Structures are given as structure tokens and as C-alpha cells.
Structure 1
């Protein structure tokens, strides 16, 4: 077989198990010297295990053999850190569908997960080249290699002969293999963020003596927070900054440096990154601006900075960011430009905007809400919200996750992580750019092709609480952080203001909650009255809003103490409108800093009720089973892929959608294109009476009156043909199709391959009003049974399917089954750029697909969040 072109899409930056990074790529002939150097650093034992005997050096012939591969039958991938190779893995095809695999990892880097990540990537390349099995001959004493092969999650078999263990791996992706990959990814990415947020020492590069300078500001904030480790100012010329000894460069620092904050001009950042790599720094915070946000030249500088940092094992926050903070008493890290840092709390906060970050931290501090940790990612060139989700999932100090997102680097991965994490810790998101779907200049993220309604639907699928603005985000967060989740929508209202109680009741109705009649205690009610009323209301509701707005100053401390006493341990959320103040007030706190059971306060009833409604919907989502994509009968993925590959060229192509759908158990009713009245009659006779005659083109079909229904004889077909050709044009293309059962509700279903989200399933009703209003719903493929049920019920016109407004109930379960099959097709075939089923008639006994159209497009490399682990 001829050698393939260098497969650049196999290159990837990866996170290792200890949180460091490496670069994985195919080997090249130019790597000969790099391979010699790598081999010279191997121990005799590693060489013996690889070659089954001593081999002090590789010959020039062997070097040529190992570095010259065809990327088809012979493939080798290497892992590099900096300029050095630290691991290599290869396969050689030995027969159709089977290849021999072997790998080597430099002794100094063993135990960091290099071998496992290389094996993941090689398995993906092998499947791409039609290889289904790996075989490996291993010496019995080589327990490390056998462990790597066994623990990857593929089905493994082993046999022993002639002193060698032969292991065979079936490379078919299994649920176990996917779980192993996800678990390793989670641990590695979590560890990489932990290294940033819990450093043992920090260097501030660019910390000068000028008051108000960026570097000095970060340095003073670090010192002011009483960071628990050493802090090293770095400046080329001065000997001390803020009373702390300064060093001329990072490499001149006496001790180890875990984290470096870079506050130097943009054109000097890359040189400092190289210094940090030489020093062994493990993470970078780049607060400097002048990168992607300035245009193409800055973007190129930004990309080069990240490339170098990752190549040497460093993660990067920024550039153009505010910094990071950790309120853990054992760390006390404030490596930000914000002098005001909230106190310790249970909320993790991620913001992309550096400029907005200062204001956000001030607002959190004003509310007395507290944070566990904070990261401002700026241009989000490397560290992203997905990385922070991995960290906060296991962080025992974080109960609620807040994300302010201006862009999504890998939306599909975000949805996967959020769906898992939301079941343990609520995620509250503000996503800017909802009207434009634009991406801020400088962000390393794709422009989203889906409408904002689709993004909201995909957030909903993942259990993410999406709110409209930052005020709502904090309103929801302070409720989630300190109060239990409600069991339902019933709301009790207790207060000393009849007007505000009525406002609260109206607000409940507007957002779908069920208010009980307000209990009005009168303007002069005190602690005893509030306590008694709260105790009487709590048993019959799921949540209570308490309103304390005395017309003249009362005893707020006593009322607050009584509300805390009665609500303690009730298991139901209690919210307050307390003297018009916002946040975690001292009168309503449990503990000196807010702890669970503290009652959040809001300035107005509408704000409290709106926050409660978000939390009620989240609690309802948690009650639904997580679900898994189910096995489907009547699916022939192999046949479907053969059809697609046969039809697909280099350019977008179309094929017979009915044949493709038949591979997934979906029947499209046949139709025939006709060009004369007699052809129409003959087609109707062959298909079976009664029939429909309609315009074939999608544009013509949008015009009113282009369909003739219920034609039961030849004369009716001839008359309809003549009528339609007069209305359209004589050469109009018409089709004949058998009449579907009536009554039925017309719907539209489809799938699309989105560059950012991957496979997406859409659904809407086919009524003209629903089409004009784009009343569509979306879910990521593949679909669980729960996903399909939610997809059917999400459009605003969905009640027409459920027996409301005088319509008879239809076969919703059959419709859900159809959507599940579409989701499976979309997940299996990334080459399906778009598939539209229009119309799909849903009747009382089943669904009928009357029309389908598919567009194919070549697809190379993994999907977003597909394939082996990789950064980006």
C-alpha cells in the first residue's frame, strides 16, 4: 500500500496524569537524532523489555526503519516535552485487520500516563486505517506494559508460549474503554488546574516599583492575601519590590517556582515562557494584553505562546486576564489584579472577561456570598471552563459552579461534562452574545452555527441552569449554595407587607410556580409572629418566601434569628426579602461566614421568585433518570457507512435518503417524479390509491396550494396535474405519493453535523405558523429515551401532539423511537452534514415519513470531543 500524506490531524496536545502537558504527533524522518537521544536515556531494563535482549544502541539502519513509516500499514506516534522525545508507540500491520503494537517511555517519565495516552491515540489511528486488533508480545516480567494494555478498557485476551505472553486487544470502542478514557481525562485535567490554584510558590514577572503597575498590583495582592508560600518578584533591574527581594530572571530564583504570573509587554512574553520552562515552572498566569484581542499579529503571538507552553508541560491562564484566586486557608492565593476578594465560600467562579472580572468579584463580596476559587481566563487561549469543571467536580470546597462565558471552545465536551457534573453540583451559566452568536476577538473558539435557542436547549439537556444576566446568576447562586433544593413548585408566602406578598404571588404564577394564599402578619409583626407563621406554612409547601419590610425600624436581628431557628433542618428552601437588602446578611447567617442553612435575601419579590423558579426546574431535572443511549433493533451501521462512502466524493453530495434511513429501520414512503398526466396516473396505480400530487422542488413546495390530496381515480389525477402545471409552470416537476393515514399532525425532524457541537438532532411541528416562528427544539446525539421525550415536548406547539386544543392524541412513543434512530444515525455517520425528514406525519397508530433529503460532506479526524484525549 502506498504511503499516505503526513496525517496532521493526528497531532494533539495532551494532559498527562500529573497535570503536565505533552505533544503527541506522528513520527517523521527528521526525528532520527531525536530518537537517538531518546534511546540513549533509556535504562537497560527498558531496552531489554522492548527488544527482549540487550541493545546498547540503535544502528543507522534501525533508526531509518523506525522513523520512516507509511502512516497506513506502519504507524508510529511520539510524545514530546519541549524538544525531547519522551515516549514512542508503533504498530505494524501483520495481516488484514490486525497489527503488532509496541511502545517505549523514557524512564524519567514513566508513571505519568504517557503510555496510556499514546495507546489511546494509536488505537484511534489504527481504527481509521481499518485495523481492528492489536497484538503485543510481552515478557512476563514486564508488568508495566501488561498493565497499560489491560487497563485501557478494550477487550483483552492473553496466552503464554515460548516464554512470552501474547496479548490481543479488540479495538472496538466499548463502554468500559470510554469510561476509562473519561476517568483519566478527568483526573489529569483536574490535577492540571489544582497545580494552578494551589501552588507552593509564586513568581511575579514584571513586578516593578511603579505604583499602580500591573505587576506590582498582583504582587501586593498576593502579599495582602497572606499567601502561604514564598513570593518572588522578578525584575531585570531592581533588587527589591514592595520590600521583597527581587530577581533578575525566573531562572535566578533560588527556590522552586510552581506558578508564574506574567505582567510584561506582549512582545517579551514568549522569552519569559521559555525561561519558566527552563526553571521547571508548572503553570502560567498571563495578565499581559496585546495578544489575540489586538488582531492577526497578536493572535499569532498568542498561538505561539500556548504552543511553547504546552510543549514544555505548562498550562496557561490568559492572556489578557484578571488572574486566579483561591480562598482555601491553607493557600490564600490572590494572584489577580482585584484588590477586593470575596471571603471564603462554597462557590467556584469562572469568568472569561478580565475587565468584567473585577466588577464581578466586587459584587460577590458586596453580597457576602463568598467563593471557593476564581479564574479569569481572558482570551481563553488554553485553560477553559471545561478544565475548571473537571477541577470543581471533585473539589470538596465547591458546592456551586458559576460560569460567565463569552465563547465555548469545545461545546460538545462542555455538554458531556456538565451533564455528569450537574447531578452532583449545580452549574449556573451566563452566556453572552446570545443575539449575535459572535466570539470576542482573540478567543480561541469557533463561531457557533446553531441559533441561541439551540444553545439553550443543549444547556437544558445537560442540566445547566442558564440565566439571562449576572444579577440573576448571583441570585440563583446564593440560593443554591446555602439552601436545600425544593421538592416541587408549591410556594408559601409569609410577610408583613400585603402589597409585596401580592407581587410575589403574581411573580410565582408568571414563572410556573404555585403560590399558596399569602399570610399577611401586619406591619408591626415581630419575631414571634414570623416564627409562628413560618412554622405553620412549611409543612404544606415546597419553599417559602419570607418578606420583612417594616414601615419603621424594627428588631431585624430577632426576626432573622427566628427565621433561622424555625427553618433549620426543615429540608425546604427559605428565601427572604429582608429590609430591601441583598445577599447573605449578618442577621440571616449561620456562622461568621455563610454556611448551609443561611437564608439569602433579595431586594424585591420578583428577584427571589425568579431565582426560586430556576432552582425548581433544576430539581425537576435531577429527578429524571440520567438514561443511556439504548440498543436499537434493525440497525445496520456497516451497510449505512458503505452507502455513504460510495456516494461521497470530495465535494458535498446527495444520495438516496430512503436507502440510508432503511439501514436504521426508518421507512420513507416511496414517491415517483412525473412529467405528464399519464405518468401521474401510472404512478398512482403502481403506488396504490388514494394518492397525493405535489410540487417536487423545496421552493415550490413553500407556495400555497401546491399539494392536491386524496386523489382516488385517474380523472382526479389528470385534473390535479393540469391545475398544478397552470399554477406553477408547464415544465414544473411533480411527484406522486400514496395518501398517508388521516388525521395526523405534520412534523419535521432532522440531524446536522455542527462544527462545534458535532451531531445534533432537531425537531419541530410542520404547521406553517410553527415553521415561520422557527419553533424548533434541539438535542445532542445520540439520544436517550429521556432526551427523545424532552425533544418532542420542547416546541411551544407540542401540545398539539398530546391531545390538547381539540387534537386527538397521537403516537408520541413512535415519534420518540424515530428520533432515537435519527440520533443513532447522526452519531454513527459524521459525513451526514444534514438530513431532513419533511414531513413526518404523526397519527394515532404511528409515524409516516413522506419525504427525506440528505447532504453528505467529507469528514476527517475526530469530532469535537471525539476520539482520544486532547486539549482544545
Structure 2
């Protein structure tokens, strides 16, 4: 996708393949933010190839992506981009934002000639996030001109109305020009964003053009169907909300030492290294410490005696965990025992966990068990970063558990993120209410969780050699967030936008 030259009306469109979506989205966000600062409606409208946006047209050299298809949708929303499915929708949106002001909200009125048409429009509006309240005006096709004018004026003069959808499709004969004129004049007089579906009219027409209070001509765009009109208005309303919202400030976490992280990577990743280097847990903890992220200390053990020694060293109570992948982090399946308070209980738990693990096959190489000091009780989350060949660093967040993994309830963002982006990332998963006092439980320390996400984002953005990072689980308690386990993989940098991501000072 490439940003087309901006026209005099401030509209932009992206229609050709991009080799660098990360840079594209940064440019798109800059354009949209600039339009908000200058009070001009200048959205970036993007048509993707196919439903996923991952189709590469013949003859274009574009890196393949390994990211899920929904990554593109989420980062476009993050950047204020309006995404459409085809050129028909693209020009439907563009003609609205080019000729009408943006809606100041979602409260929408309907002007229709029948209850059935109004019901159809209301249902479509609800699916696109618009709110239809009591502002529905039904004007019969045979209504007298004075009745028509009065009804249109009353609707447009409502103080708690943000936009209007006018639908007038004659059952017999041609459209009465007085209807189009009344709608055009009311929209121009009040500045109320309006879309119209008028029989025989399409696009920008003289019939729906009228002068505003300043004498400038303003046109209500006409659409072929109510679905087209409502879709365009819904996109405009969402873009207007994005423009009006606080987009936050760049992330600069305290105690973050990117130079130290780069020195460590330079030491651990020799020039002749293979494709990837998986870091040992101690080195992963060192790297994360440069980002100001602490990892709960863990001691690997083989049997009950070494587990007791580890517990005495860490301090009671402790948690004992198997390292078998199928049972790892799975307290519900018996692979994790929590709040082990004394030696007798620990020895019994060790024997049971080892027996359970043995039933699933040979033990993994290394220590079969881990002992860790207890973290505060809370909700377990998973924070990941992955270096994608196309997008660059991709940050993901979700609450831990099978339901989240199987249903894909994960939020994504592409750095550089702002503090507002991080807050939205944490709140996007459908399971996020568990963090905010779900079913009467106490609210958890989301601020501490956001701090961890922010540090991962900055680390991934500034360290292209960090091929993958997983913090799993991150336990969010009422006070604080604790990283219980972390895994990192390094590889030589192969980022397509290295010149954009200069060292931070």
C-alpha cells in the first residue's frame, strides 16, 4: 500500500501494495493526526487485497508475513485508518468525507417514507455502531410540501442529533425534487452530516447541493442502497471518534537501558551464529532486566530432596511445577502445586507431579521440576513479541488459558506504541473484564500490567535481533504484576525499516 498524493480536499487513499506496512501505518497515523490538529477531515482509506490483506498481487515483491490476519485490522484501527473491502466502498467513504463534515457522535436520525424502510435503516445502522433513538421522521410520499418542510426542519433542529440518514425511494414514478432540495438545504443550513438514498440519484448531484450560511455550496452524497450509505456513515463516525480521542504520548519507561540490552545481544549473538539462538533462563532475565522487567527467581530440581533445599533457599511458601510442556503452567491439570507450606507437603507434591508427568511420556531434558517462591494471587496473562518479516515487531496480549488460546482472544499492536495504545491493547481481549473486578472480585493492578507491556514494546521496537519473546505467565495481582517465566530467542536483524528505528536517546 502506498499513500496517494493528497488532493486539495485533504483526502488520501491507499490502493497499491506496500513493502513496509509498519512505515505505511506510521505515515497514515501522522496524516490522520495532522488532520485532527488542523480541523480538516483527512482520513486514510485503505482497500486491502482479499479479506485478509495478505494477498500479494502478481509482479509485486512483498515480504511474506507470519502474523495472523487480524493483526492488520487491529493495527489499522490503532492508526486511525479506514479499511474497506473494495473500490466501491472506498469511493463511498471518500465522497462522504469530501463533501460533508465528520459526525460529532453516533446519534443518528432517520428520514424515511415508510416504517419498513426506517426499520431496515435502523438495523443497518446498529450493525455499524450508530445509535438510533427517537429521531425517526416518517414522511409519506404524498405529503404536502409544507408538511415535508416542517418535518425536515424539526428533525434537523434536534439538539441531540449528530447525523441524518435520508431514504426516499418512490414506489411509483420519479423522485419529487422537493424532497432532495429540502434535505440538501437543511443539511447545509445546520452542518449536520447527511447521507441520502434517493431514487435515481447517485454520487454528487445538483439536486442534493445547496449553499450553506457562508454561501459555500455543500453537497449531500447520494448512494445506491441504504447499506452503502450506512456503511460510509459508520466509517466516518468511527474515524471521528478516533480523531477526537487522546492518542497518548510515546513510551519512555524509567530505568530502561536499551544500550545495555544491545551490548548483551552483541555478546551472545556471534557473527557466525545459526538461524536462531534460544537464550538460557538466566540470560533472558539479564536481558529483561535492561528493560526494567524482573523475573521471579526459579530453581530447577530433580527430586524431593533438591526441592526442599530450593524451598529453604527461596523461602516458604513455594510453588512446584513440572517442566513437561503438556502440563507446564497448568494448575488445573495437576502440573502446578501452589502455596506449598512445609516439607512434608512439598515431598508429597513432588512425588505426585513426577508420577503425573511420567504418565505422559519421557521427561524432558534438564530438570523435570521447578521450585519458585509464591507470587500474589491474581489473573495470569501472556505477553509476547515476535519479529515478523513484513510488520517488524508485533506485540500480543491475552489472558492465559485454553479458552483464550483456542478462540484466539488476543490483541495485537505494532510498535512504536503510545501509552494510550498500551491501555487499549490490554482492554481489547474479550476476557479483559477479569482484570477490572469481574463478578465482584477486586480490580487488579492494570497500571503495573501496562508498564510491563510498554517495556516489552520498547524493547522489541529497539532490538530487531529479538526474534521472539514470551512472558508466560505474568500474574497481575491487586498490587503489582509479577513475571513468573520468560523465554527469548535471538537472531540477526532482518528488518526492512531499520533506518526508521534509530537508537532512542
Aligned equivalent of 2:415, options 778, 781, 786? 781
Structure 1 817/531 Cα, relative in aligned 2: closer, same or farther at 3 Å?
A: farther
Matched residue of 2:111: which SS?
Answer: strand
CA RMSD, aligned part only? 2.4
* Structure 2 counterpart of 1:710, from 339, 352, 372: 339
Q: Is the Cα–Cα contact under 8 Å of residues 111 and 164 in structure 2 kept in the other structure? A: yes
TM-superposed CA distance for 1:579, in Å, is 2.1
| 2:257 is the alignment partner of 1:628 | no
Q: How far did residue 700 of structure 1 move?
A: 4.1
Counterpart in 2 of 1:525? 143
User: TM-score when scaled to structure 1?
Assistant: 0.52
8 Å CA contact 1:546–1:577 kept in 2: the answer is yes
Q: 2: distance between equivalents of 1:483 and 1:686?
A: 69
Gaps of 5+ in 1: 1-383
Q: CA distance change for structure 1 residues 771 and 806 in 2, over 3 Å: closer, same or farther? A: farther
Secondary structure (helix, strand or coil) at the match of 1:486 reads coil
The 5-angstrom pairing of residues 79-98 of structure 1 reads: none
1 CA distance for matches of 2:392 and 2:399? 23
Question: Is residue 2:187 matched to residue 1:567?
Answer: yes
Partners in 1 of 2:200 and 2:454 — Cα distance? 49
The equivalent residue for 2:473 is 839
Secondary structure of 2:387 counterpart: strand
| CA pair 509-688 structure 1, distance change in 2 beyond 3 A | farther
Q: Give matches, 1:396-795, under 5 Å.
A: 397-405=8-16, 407-423=17-33, 424=35, 425-435=42-52, 437-517=54-134, 518-525=136-143, 527-538=145-156, 539-553=159-173, 556-579=176-199, 581-590=201-210, 597-649=218-270, 650-651=273-274, 652-655=276-279, 656-701=283-328, 704-729=333-358, 731=363, 733-742=368-377, 744-795=378-429
CA deviation string 1:259-316 (max 9, x = no partner): xxxxxxxxxxxxxxxxxxxxxxxxxxxxxxxxxxxxxxxxxxxxxxxxxxxxxxxxxx
Q: Distance in 2 between matches of 1:580 and 1:817?
A: 56
Q: Report the alpha carbon displacement of residue 840 of structure 1 after superposing the two structures with TM.
A: 1.1
Contact 2:9 2:98 in 1 (8 A): no
C-alpha separation in 1, matches of 2:49 and 2:293:
39
SS of the residue corresponding to residue 587 of structure 1 reads coil
Q: Take 2:101 and 2:145, find their aligned partners in 1: how far apart are those partners?
A: 23
TM-superposed deviation, 1:702: 7.3
When residues 767 and 535 of structure 1 are mapped into structure 2, their CA distance, relative to the original with a 3 A threshold, is farther
Quickly say closer, same or farther: Cα 1:856–1:699, change in 2 above 3 A: farther
* Secondary structure of residue in 2 paired with 1:440: coil
SS where residue 540 of structure 1 aligns? Answer: coil
Q: What SS class does the counterpart of residue 788 from structure 1 fall into?
A: helix
Mapping of residues 182-261 of structure 1, within 5 Å: none
Q: Which has the higher contact order (CA 8 A, sep 6+)?
A: 2
Shift of 1:477: 1.9
Q: Secondary structure at the match of 1:443?
A: coil
C-alpha distance in 2 between matches for 1:482 and 1:494:
20
> CA separation in 1, counterparts of 2:61 and 2:111?
50
Deviation string 1:612-654 (CA, Å, 9 cap, x unpaired) is 2211111111012343314321112222122211211312112
Distance 2:181 2:65 in 1: 49
Cα offsets for 1:379-415 (capped at 9, x unmatched)? xxxxx614x3xx32xx4x243223334x321212101
Give 1:561 deviation, angstroms: 1.0
3-state DSSP class of the match of 1:728?
helix
Residue by residue over 1:830-871, the C-alpha shift from the partner in whole angstroms, topping out at 9 and shown as x without a partner, is: 111111111112222221111110000112687355369xxx
Tell me how many residue pairs correspond in the alignment: 474
Cα separation, 2, equivalents of 1:534 and 1:818:
54
Q: Distance in 1 between matches of 2:144 and 2:18?
A: 50
Q: In structure 2, what is the Cα distance between the partners aligned to 1:537 and 1:739? A: 63
Give 3-state SS (helix, strand or coil) of 2:455's partner. Answer: helix
* CA distance in structure 2 between the aligned counterparts of 1:705 and 1:523, rounded to whole angstroms: 71
Separation in structure 1 between the aligned mates of residue 461 and residue 303 of structure 2, nearest angstrom: 41
Residues 620 and 698 from structure 1, CA distance in 2 versus in 1: closer, same or farther, beyond 3 angstroms?
A: farther
SS at match of 1:385: coil
Aligned to 2:482: 848
Displacement of 1:508 = 2.4
Structure 1 residues 751 and 444: CA distance shift in structure 2, 3 A: same
- The answer as to whether partners of 1:404 and 1:429 remain within 8 angstroms in 2 is yes
Q: Structure 2 unaligned segments of length 5 or more: list them.
A: 36-41
User: Under a length normalisation based on structure 2, what TM-score does the superposition of the two structures give?
Assistant: 0.87
- Cα distance in 2 for residues equivalent to 1:579 and 1:862: 50
How many Å apart are 1:457 and its aligned residue?
A: 1.3
2-structure distance, mates of 1:798, 1:603: 40
Alpha-carbon distance in 1 for matches of 2:231, 2:439: 29
Between structure 1 and structure 2, the one with the greater Rg is 1
CA contact (8 A) 1:481 1:596 kept: no
Does the residue aligned with 1:737 lie in a helix, a strand or coil? Answer: strand
Once superposed, which parts of structure 1, at least 4 consecutive aligned residues long, lie more than 6 Å away?
none
Provide the C-alpha distance between the structure 1 equivalents of 2:494 and 2:137, rounded to a whole number of angstroms.
Answer: 64
Map 1:291-440 → 2, pairs under 5 A: 385-386=2-3, 388=4, 391-392=5-6, 395=7, 397-405=8-16, 407-423=17-33, 424=35, 425-435=42-52, 437-440=54-57
Which residue of structure 1 lines up, in the alignment, with residue 39 of structure 2?
none
